Structures are given as structure tokens and as C-alpha cells.
Structure 1
Amino acid sequence: MNKQLLEFQNEWTPIINEALANNVVKNSDQKTLGESMAYSVDAGGKRLRPLLTLATLKSLGIEINDMDLLPILSIELIHTYSLIHDDLPAMDNDDLRRGKPTNHMVFGSGMATLAGDGLQTLAFQWLVNNNLPINDQVKLVKALAQAAGPKGMVAGQGIDIFNEGKTKLDFKQLQTLHRRKTGDLIHYSVLAGIIIGHGDELKKELLKFADSFGLAFQIYDDILDVVGDKASLGKPVNQDQDKNTYTNLLGLAGAQKKLMETIKMGKKSLDKISQQIDISLLNSFFTYFELNIED
């Protein structure tokens, strides 16, 4: 991770965490439900998705210091709800997330399910309960519903579950799976910045960047499951031997090569708009992967 990204992350992650901590529990009228929702939201994480939105806005020249963060942070609620549900016994049945017991291990499967449901619906409340222009609110709601719904993230989860232990996907099929499961929320994160910052003239290349970053993120995650360790990742490793992953399909070396190719594609998209905006901050997001993988 380079200096520019580290400074941006160090500036905004505490602000993001504080805003989330101050606004989740108070939106629940049931004490344990609110505690369960906050437990997973406050467990930490990289906050890459809202950081991508903020970085897109900054790159577009939008002043972000005084912005209402809640519509920007709604993506983190969707992401967290998906993790809670993904960890449930009916799904991956994981007992550790971000170095802590998973939500259902603490609150039980029923309350964990409701916590995910609560975070999902609260995300859309945050998209419309703000001072953004109504037209922007509508665009954000539509975009997030599509990214998180049955043609987006949920579809990816469905493809994953349907094929687990039964079908070995080829590369194109695997890309479709992870574009839906992981990439669509990252795509939305950049799109949200474009919508709020009215950057339609740069939309095509910014979204190509987002899709390259989303693919790189998933390949990197698959690699870490092989080469990472439980202590540093905060979750079990070597859990994907029987799953459709890039490392299982391409081998470790092949996955590393594909990661580097994907990063180059994303940088190429940003280069195309480098005369119109400062791309350095968005470009720096790729160093999240580069410094941890051998070329």
C-alpha cells in the first residue's frame, strides 16, 4: 500500500467508523437486534467500498469534508449484511470473521439473520434520508438494488451455492460468478461517486477501473486463502479446496499472473482519463494487492 492510499485510508477510516458506530444502533427499536447489527458493522474491516466512493468523489474534484456520509456508507451496511448471512450455518457455517466470533455464534442464527435483514433495509433508508437531490437519490437506490439484488450479489451467491461441490466452472463462468458476488458492490461503490459527483462524462472508464479492481480483489482473496494465515486475516484459511476459485482453476502461479494482468487493465482505463482528472488516488488502490504478491 503506497503513501497516498495509506494517508487517505488513515484520514477517512476513523471518520467512517465513527459515523457507522453513531448511526446503526439508534436505528433499531429492539435492543438485542441493534446490538447484533452493530456487532458486525463495528467489527472493523478495510472499508474499501465507501473509501472507493470517497476517492471517486475526490478525483472528480468534489469537496467531501462536509458531506453527509450516510448515503455513502450505505454500501458498508449491504456488505456487512452479506457477510453475516454468508457466515450462517446454512451457508458457509463459519465461526470466525475479522478475528472475532461470527454474528450467529454470539447472537444465534435467528437474530443474526434479522441483523442482516435490518442492515439491508437500513441501507436504503440512508440513501433517501439526506439532502442529496431527489434525482440522485433515485439513481442511487436503483443502482444499489441492482448491485445487491437477484441480478447482482445475491445471484452470485446463488451461482456459488448451486455449483459448490458439483460443477467445476471454466474461467468465463467463474468471472460471472465473482462479478456478481463480489464485483457488483465494488462497481456500485465507484458508480455512487459518479452519481453524487455528476461525473457522467468519465463514467465509462471509471467503471472499467471499478470492474478491474473488483476482479483483482476476488483473485487476491482466493490467493490469500492459500498463502495467508488465520491470525493476520482474521478468518479461517484453506477453506476453499472444494470451491470454484481462481487458485483452484488456474493454480497459485496462474492466479498471481491473472491478478497482475487485471491490475494492468484497470490502470489502462484510468490512463485514458488522466488528462481530465487526477487519477493518482484511484490508481493507488491497486497497491493494496501489488505489495503482497510476487510478480
Structure 2
Amino acid sequence: MMDDFKNEKRLHRRYAFQIVLQIREMLQALPSLVDIDVPEGKHFTVCGDVHGQFYDLVNIFQLNGLPSEDNPYLFNGDFVDRGSFSVEVILTLFAFKCMCPSAMYLARGNHESKSMNKIYGFEGEVRAKLNDKFVELFAEVFCCLPLAHVINGKVFVVHGGLFSVDGVKLSDIRAIDRFCEPPEEGLMCELLWSDPQPLPGRGPSKRGVGLSFGGDVTKRFLEENKLDLVLRSHEVKDEGYEVEHDGKLITVFSAPNYCDQVMFQLRGCSVTRTMDFLFLQLVTMPHPQVKPMAYANNFMGLFS
């Protein structure tokens, strides 16, 4: 399937239906906060936003190995939109999850939602490459994605960030009813949308949704939940990753040459039980001459 995708071929809708229906059943059975155990001596790779850049996803697997029980991955949200190969990305990730559930973990990002998909290209791409039925089916599956993961009881992995109030416990996140479109406020919204800031305290979000939170907020959340680190995505970084908040927060972004405009060097990380990190170097890969946002007709219409 991946070879066909690389050659710009499409998967028959029958098989796409089988993959998406199977992944829906698997995701529905998961909690909103998933615990991951990485045995001592084993490694675990966390990737940030991929945003429909299928050829860069293929490059990650070529550099770091295909997902397997001995080489597991967590893709930390924003699989789709902006890049024009989102269908290929999402079917590849879902297929690996179906083939070997312990090889692939998936978290929801702010772009796994109807409103974002309508504007930033995924909905139009799905209509073009599959059909209208898949638009609603993907939207339903996205509502089943877990909101966060905890690795070895120490690393909190979330797409966006932390909260507008102190005292949020992991049990509160487990209790979130996530089977809905993301609300505009509250814990679920903030998990998907928030960003760190250099100053202490909290401030308004530059995105207009969620909030900005300082190192003191990160420190208190970690201490209250007996965690060591927040690992998140959601933001473009010049080097592909950034360490902030006195080493207690790492952002990792996995879409090199994002939207064919920005050149990056570093983009993924391998997390071991001993909390050592290896940042996997990525360079942009050539892709067919289909521009980012090629299917975002509704978005482009806003400016016409």
C-alpha cells in the first residue's frame, strides 16, 4: 500500500472502508488517557505533527525502521490538513495500528476535527480521493482518538499543552468524555490547543483558543501527578524541536519543509525508559508537484 501511495496510486474504497471501520472499533475501546509501558532496554519513538506530508512520513520509517512490536511509535496528533497527502498518511498510520496495535499509538490533535478539516484541506482531499461517506466516517473516528498518553508513568505526552487551572490530575483526563467534536473551552480543548510561554503564569493564546502557560504551571502539574516531563507537539520549531521550562517540557514537530515554505533539520525523538532522548534528524523529501492546501477550496474561497 505504501509503495502504491508513493507512486500516486489510490487504495480501493473497499479496503479503505475495512481499515477505517476496524480502527474505529479499536479506538473506541481505549481510554482517553493511555498508559504505555516501555520495557527497560527498549526504545520508543514519538513523532509530532505530520500534516499530510506522506513522503516525509515514509522517510521517518526509512530512517528509524517500520513500526513493529520492537519498534513502536506514537504519532502525537495533526496527521492531516495543510499537506496534500493526508489520505495517504492517515490510511498508513491506521493500517499499522490495525496490523499491530502495540506498534502504533495515535493521539488526537486540534486538526482532527470537522471545523479544521473543512478549512485546511482534509475534507476536500477525502472527497476527491475517496467519497463523501468517508468525510463523516473519518470525523467519527477522530472523535475516538485518545487525548493523551503517559509513558512509563513519567512522561506525559499530549498534542497541545496544559490547563487554565491548577490541580488537574491524570484521573481527570481519564474521565473526559472525548467522543465529540472538541469544545471551545475546558480540559479537552486545552489539551489540544494550548502552548507554553517563557514567562511564568498563564496568558491568552495567540491562537484564540486554549491558553499560554509558563514553566511554573508545568512544574506544578508534573509534581502533582508525580511525572518528570511534558512532551508535546502543535508548534513549528526552527530546529524541529525545542526544550523549554527548565528541561521539563519538550516540543517536537515532524513535518520538515512545512507547507513547502520552512526548512527544518530535526524532528522526532526516541524516548527510553531511562529518560534519555535521541533526536532523529530529518530533511525534507521530494514529493509530487501537488501544492500544500491543494484541496482547501473552502479556505481559499474565504479570500476570493
Q: TM-score, normalised by structure 1?
A: 0.31
Greater percentage in strand? 2
Greater percentage in helix? 1
Q: TM-score, normalised by structure 2?
A: 0.31
